[in-house]
Amino acid sequence: MMEPSRQILWNVGSHSFLNACSAVAAASLLAGFSMRVSAWLRGKKGGETGGTAPRLRAALKALCVQNGMMRTPLYLVMHRCASYGMALLFAGSLLVALEMHLGLHLLQGSAYLAFTLAMDCAGIAVLVGAGFAAYLRYVKKPERLESGFGDAMLLIMLGALALSGFLVKGLRIVATSDHWAAWSPVGYSAAAALGRTMDTGQATKLHQLAWYGHAALAFTFIALVPWTKLLHLLSVPLSIFLSAPRGKEALLPRLSATPAAGSITLADCSRKQLVEADACIECGRCRKLCSIYQEDIPYAPINLMANLRMLSHRGDWDSPLVDGAIHGDALWSCTACRSCEERCPMEGEHAAGIIGIRRGEVESGRAPEFAAARFARHQVSLAAATDHPTLPDSASDVHIWPGCKESEADQSTTVNSVLNLMKKAGLTATVLEPPSCCGAPMRQLGNEELFRQHARANIDYLKAIPGATIITCCPHCFSTLKHGYLSLGADINVLHHSQQLAGLLSEGRLSPAKNMPLKAAFHDPCFLGRHNGEYDSPRKLIRSIEGLAPLEMKHSRKKSLCCGSGGGTVPQEVAAANGRKWIRQALKEGVEAVVTGCPYCRENLAAASREEAKGNPLIIADIAEILDSGGLS
C-alpha cells in the first residue's frame, strides 16, 4: 500500500501565480508595517517600567493565552478559535511552501495524515470564531461594540477563506478519489456532497478555478494586515509590552527629577499612546463604565483612540489634540477612575494620556475656570502653611493623615471614628497637620509643578517622623503618598484606614459586635481599588459585623462605577451625573446602606441619594463610622 501523501500544486502546475501573490503580499506588509512603525517611533520615548523581560513575558502571554483580552469564557473561546485556527492554517501553508521551494518531504506518511486532519480542525475553528463574532456584532448588537463596514468585510473574508479551503479540498478528493480522504472529515463530507452532482472531469476543472480563488483570497487577507484592524496582531502585544505593570499607579508622568512636558499636539504623544491608537479594536469596553460617558457628554476613550489614529495616519503631527483628538468638555470630565484601563484588552493607559493633554493645556495657560480657581486657592494655602510650619508628634503608634475633606470641620467624622477605634485597640494616634494638600487633585488636573510644590513641603514635614506608620482615610492621599511621595524620597509606611482596621481585627485587638440589621453594599473607591488593588480589607470588616447583610453589587470591585467626584477634580455636573447613576443601581439592587472608604465618595453619593431616593435616602457612611457606631466594640 502506498505511503500517505499528496502532490503539491496538483492540477495547478507552475507556482508562478503563488510567487506573484507572495511578492505583492510581502510588498504590502513591508510598506504598511514600515509606515506604522516609523509613525510610532516619532512618539516620545520613555514611561516603561518594570524591566524588559517581565514586560516581554506579559506581551507573549497575552498573545498566546489571551485571557486578559476576553471577559467571558464564551468570548474567549470565540477569539481563540479564530486566532488559533488562523495561526495553524498559516503554519500549514508555510510547511507546504517549504516542500514546494526547498524540495523537503515533510508531509509524508503519518505526518501527512496528522497535517490534513489538523488543517480541517483549524478551518472549523476559524468558521466557529468568525460565525460567533458575526452573530455578536450583527445580530446581538451590544451597544458598546463598534461594527462598521471594515469589521464585516474581515469576518466575511475569514469565513470565505475557511469555506473555500474546504471546497478546494472536496473537489480534489472527488477528482482524485483520494485514498486518505477520511483523514479530512470536512473535506470528505464536502466531496460526498459534490460527488453527487459532478464527475471527476468537472471536479478537476472546478478545482483549478477554486484553487486560484482561494489562493488570491488568502494572500489578499495577508496583504491587508497592516492596513486594517488586523494590525492589532502586532500592535496589541506591543502596547502591552510598553505598559506599566498592572497594580501600579498609572498616572503619568512617572515621577522623576524633571517633570515631563504635557501633550499639546500629536508630536508630543508618547510611543505608547501612538501604539495604543493603532491597537484599539473599538471593542467599546472603555465606554461601558466610563465616568465621562454621560447623557450630556457622549464621549469615551474609544473616541480618543480613533481620533489619535486618524491624526497619525494622516500625518497631522502639528494638529492640536484638544478638539482634534478629544473634546474639551470630555478632557476635563475624566475622573481618572481607570475603569477604561482595567477593561482594556490592550492595557491602554487612557487616564494617563488624558492627564498628559491636561498638562499641556495648563502649561499653555488654557486651564478652564474651575481648575484655574482651584490652582489659585492651593497656591495661596501652600504659601500660608509654609510660612508657619508645624512639626508632627513623633511619640504616637500611628499618625493619621487627615486629607483635605477630613480637615474640614463638618467632614471630620471619619477621622474621629478612626481615633476612637485606635483607642479601643490600645494604640496612641495623632492627627497630623501637614502644611498642604497632598497635591493629588493638582496632578490629576495637569498642574505637575504645583503638585511637586505640595509634595516637597509635605515630605519636609514628614522628615520629623522617619519610618512612621501613616493612616489616611482618603484613597487619593493614600495613592499619592504610597506611590508619589515614596518615589520622591519620603520615609513612611502608608496604609488606608480600612487596611489598618482589618489588621487590628485579625490580631484580635478589635472585636465584632452585633445588631446592625441592614443590607449594606461597599462602594469601591477608584483610587483604593483599581489604582491600588485593595478590595478585601473593607469587605472583611463588613462581614465581621453580625446582623449586617453584605450585598455585592453587580458593579463592584474592578467593575465598580465611579462616584464621579474624582477627588473633586471634575465639573460639578459631571460628578452629580455619575453619583446619581450609582445610587439608581444601588436602589435597584435593594441596598439600604452604602459603606465606603473615601470622603469624596461619601459626599457625592450622599448628595445623589437625597436627589434619587426622594424622601427615603440611603444611609451613606464610611467604614470607620459604621464600626465606631456599634459595628465593633
Architecture of domain 16-238: Up-down Bundle (1.20)
Q: Return the ∠ at Cα 287 (arms to 286 and 292), rounded to 5°.
A: 110
**Block residue for cell numbers 463588613:** 542
| pLDDT band at residue 172 using 50, 70 and 90 as cut-offs | very high
Provide the pLDDT for residue 408: 61
| pLDDT band at residue 255 using 50, 70 and 90 as cut-offs | very low
Question: Measured between alpha carbons, how far is 221 from 228 in angstroms, rounded to an integer?
Answer: 10
Strands (E), 355-461: 398-401, 429-431
- Cα torsion 264, 275, 74, 302 to 10°: value is 20
Q: What is the largest CA-CA distance in the chain?
A: 100
Residue 514 vs residue 581, higher pLDDT: 581
Question: Measured between alpha carbons, how far is 601 from 575 in angstroms, rounded to an integer?
Answer: 10
Peptide bond into 253 cis (omega under 30): yes
C-alpha cell at 75: 468570548
Range in 27-36, 142-151, 323-332 the model is least confident about: 142-151
Residue 174 makes CB contacts below 8 A (sequence gap 6+) with 191, 194, 195, 198, 200, 203
391-505 matches 511-631 in fold: yes
Residue 69 makes CB contacts below 8 A (sequence gap 6+) with 62, 76, 79, 236, 345
Mean pLDDT, residues 391-401 taken together: 81
The H or E element spanning position 519 is strand 519-523
pLDDT in tens, 463-490: 888 888 899 999 999 999 988 887 788 8
Question: Measured between alpha carbons, how far is 69 from 65 in angstroms, rounded to an integer?
Answer: 9
pLDDT in tens, 39-61: 999 988 765 556 788 888 888 88
Residue 98 makes CB contacts below 8 A (sequence gap 6+) with 104, 106
Per-domain boundaries in the chain: 16-238, 243-366, 391-505, 511-631
Q: What are phi and psi of 597, to 5 degrees?
A: -135, 35
Peptide bond into 301 cis (omega under 30): no
Q: Over 50: is that where the pLDDT of 251 sits?
A: no
Range in 205-219, 284-298, 378-392 the model is least confident about: 378-392
Question: Measured between alpha carbons, how far is 180 from 120 in angstroms, rounded to an integer?
Answer: 13
Contact between 162 and 123 (Cβ < 8 Å): yes
Provide the pLDDT for residue 248: 46
Cα 388 from chain centroid?
Answer: 44
Mean pLDDT, residues 348-366 taken together: 90
Provide the pLDDT for residue 257: 45
Architecture of domain 391-505: 3-Layer(aba) Sandwich (3.40)
Task: Give the gyration radius of the chain's Cα atoms.
Answer: 30
pLDDT in tens, 488-516: 888 888 999 999 999 999 998 987 766 67
The CATH code of the domain at 511-631 is: 3.40.50
Q: Over 60: is that where the pLDDT of 1 sits?
A: no
The mean predicted confidence, pLDDT, of the chain is: 85
- Quick one: which of 265, 430, 446 has its CA closest to 354? 446
Q: Report the DSSP pairing between strands 519-523 and 619-622.
A: unpaired
243-366 carries CATH number 1.10.10? no
